[in-house]
Structure 1
Amino acid sequence: MDSKNLGINTICTHVGEVKDEQFQGAISPLYMSSSYQYDGVDVKRYPRYFNTPNQEALGKKIAMLEKKEAGMIFGSGMAATSTTILAFLQKGDHIVLPKTLYGGTYNFVVEELHKFGIEHSFTKGFSEEDFLSAIQENTKVIFVETPSNPLMLITDLEMISSIARERGIVTMIDNTFASPVNQTPHDFGIDICIHSATKYMGGHSDICAGAVAASQEHMDKIWNIAKNLGGSLSDYTVWLLERSMKTMAIRVKAHNKNAKKMAKWLQKHELVQKVYYPGLKDHPDHDLAKKQMNGFTGMLSFELVAGIDTNAFMKKLKLIKQSMSLAGVESTILSPTHTSHALLSAEERAHQGINDGLLRFSVGIENKEDLIADFKQAFAAIATPELV
Structure 2
Amino acid sequence: MDNVKKGVNTICTHTGELEDKTFKGAVSPLYMSTSYAFEDVDVKRYPRYFNTPNQEALCKKLAALEHTEAALIFGSGMAAISTALMSFLQAGDHIVLQQTLYGGTYNFVVTQLEKYGIQYSFTEGWTVADFQREIRPNTKVVYLETPSNPLLTITDMTGVVELSRKNKILSIIDNTFASPINQNPHDFGVDVVLHSATKYMGGHSDICAGVVTGSQEIMDQVFQTAICFGGSLSDYTVWLLERSIKTMGIRVRAQNENAMKMATYLDNKSEVEKVYYPGLETHPDHELAKSQMNGFGGMLSFELNPDIDVSLFFQHLKLIKPSMSLAGIESTMLSPTKTSHALMSPEDRKKQGIKDSLIRFSLGIEEMDDLTKDIEQALEQVKNLTVHA
Confirm or deny that 1:210 pairs with 2:193: no
Alignment map for 1:172-191 (pairs within 5 Å): 172-191=172-191
- Report the counterpart of residue 127 of structure 2 in structure 1: 127
Alignment map for 1:228-243 (pairs within 5 Å): 228-243=228-243
Cα gap change, 1:314 to 1:27, in 2 (>3 Å): same
- Report the counterpart of residue 107 of structure 1 in structure 2: 107
Q: How many residues align?
A: 387
RMSD (Å), alpha carbons: 1.1
Cα gap change, 1:320 to 1:85, in 2 (>3 Å): same
For 1:150, the aligned partner's letter is P
- Report the counterpart of residue 27 of structure 2 in structure 1: 27
- Report the counterpart of residue 197 of structure 1 in structure 2: 197
In structure 2, distance between residues paired with 1:47 and 1:40: 19
In structure 1, distance between residues paired with 2:386 and 2:217: 61
TM-score, structure 1 as length reference: 0.98
- Report the counterpart of residue 373 of structure 1 in structure 2: 373
- Report the counterpart of residue 296 of structure 1 in structure 2: 296
Corresponding residue SS for 1:383: helix
8 Å CA contact 2:182, 2:293 repeated in 1? yes
Confirm or deny that 1:282 pairs with 2:286: no
- Report the counterpart of residue 8 of structure 1 in structure 2: 8
Alignment map for 1:31-70 (pairs within 5 Å): 31-70=31-70
- Report the counterpart of residue 260 of structure 2 in structure 1: 260
For 1:71, the aligned partner's letter is A
For 1:337, the aligned partner's letter is T
For 1:42, the aligned partner's letter is D
For 2:193, the aligned partner's letter is C
> % of aligned pairs identical?
63
- Report the counterpart of residue 150 of structure 2 in structure 1: 150
Query: Which deviations, in whole Å up to 9, do the C-alpha atoms of 1:242-291 show, x marking residues without a partner?
Result: 00000000000000000000000001011000000000000000000000
In structure 1, distance between residues paired with 2:206 and 2:278: 28
In structure 2, distance between residues paired with 1:244 and 1:108: 29
Deviation at 1:2, TM superposition (A): 3.8
Deviation at 1:186, TM superposition (A): 1.1
In structure 1, distance between residues paired with 2:385 and 2:6: 57
- Report the counterpart of residue 82 of structure 2 in structure 1: 82
In structure 2, distance between residues paired with 1:309 and 1:339: 17
In structure 2, distance between residues paired with 1:324 and 1:16: 31
In structure 2, distance between residues paired with 1:161 and 1:43: 36
In structure 2, distance between residues paired with 1:236 and 1:247: 18
Confirm or deny that 1:328 pairs with 2:364: no
In structure 2, distance between residues paired with 1:297 and 1:250: 13
In structure 1, distance between residues paired with 2:72 and 2:22: 26
Corresponding residue SS for 1:303: strand
In structure 1, distance between residues paired with 2:218 and 2:157: 19
Deviation at 1:10, TM superposition (A): 0.1
8 Å CA contact 2:100, 2:126 repeated in 1? no
Runs of 4+ in 1 over 6 A off after TM superposition: none
Corresponding residue SS for 1:301: strand
In structure 2, distance between residues paired with 1:126 and 1:203: 28
In structure 1, distance between residues paired with 2:229 and 2:385: 57
Query: Which deviations, in whole Å up to 9, do the C-alpha atoms of 1:88-125 show, x marking residues without a partner?
Result: 00000010011111000000000000001000010011
Corresponding residue SS for 2:302: strand
- Report the counterpart of residue 364 of structure 1 in structure 2: 364
Cα gap change, 1:367 to 1:35, in 2 (>3 Å): same
Gaps of 5+ in 2: none
In structure 2, distance between residues paired with 1:145 and 1:79: 17
In structure 2, distance between residues paired with 1:3 and 1:284: 41
